[in-house]
Chain A
């Protein structure tokens, strides 16, 4: 099964941030948009079409799931009644991507440290 998770790697920056945004719990499209911007310190500012293309692809890949949300639960008027959650596979892929990046960073730090000395 691990091979299946690895087949999703490496994640693009946008995908990684979207999955990361959904890690704490369900979110609407607009909330994801804002959260991605916040998580990336404003460096990744997604347009609506880019966001939904990514969400649609992630739905097809089974990394996220779409759920109907109670309109009364909605964060505000005009917000769509559909929310997105991370699937089990999505969570494992996100963890695998994080581990992969950690290994990359560790390797880079080690090499850069060696170069300095």
Chain B
């Protein structure tokens, strides 16, 4: 048991050490969400107008972009595994008296810490965009982001446990992550789209992570995920079989996903030679 804990803290310690020393990565991971925020925000905001009273497109998209930041940084846990394998450092880790499950947990915890920090830093943009954040919002947001981030770190490590090159991993990330992001309701409410898109989005577990974050924001901004645009015919949140999914249900779905991914990641990582 001590070897599980030592593995966890030693590995996460190094992940953080690396993060602090790589300033480009720190800046780089903000670039994409910022780009979306500025371009999409400026492009669509006036055209779309209010989605529900008090919620314009930027307010709608912003929580989604926090989710996106967390997601992209979490999956990078896998890149770090591939990087270590390519540059040999993984051997140093694997021959050390550390439990392999602990190593996986350490990678996940380390990259989750990084991802959550990045997500929280995004909050400084909120006042500029006219989004109010209060203390309770942040208190609720942090554990939620940690949960989402740990789940997706599991995905990153699972993918990475068989990959040998960084290019390969980047490619796979493009194939897996981009659809996950675009189908998660970050950019549009998924209740007023063609059926195929709606189905795909509702199968995507990330949708529920985005939904949970968005509901927190909407609630604290005096809006609800309930009745939406114009005549209030559909909600901004996710509905499954006519039922408005609550934050707790969102959390449960993400937690189950996380448990599955993390278990699979541990098994895959342990099996490698």
**Chains A and B are bound partners:** no
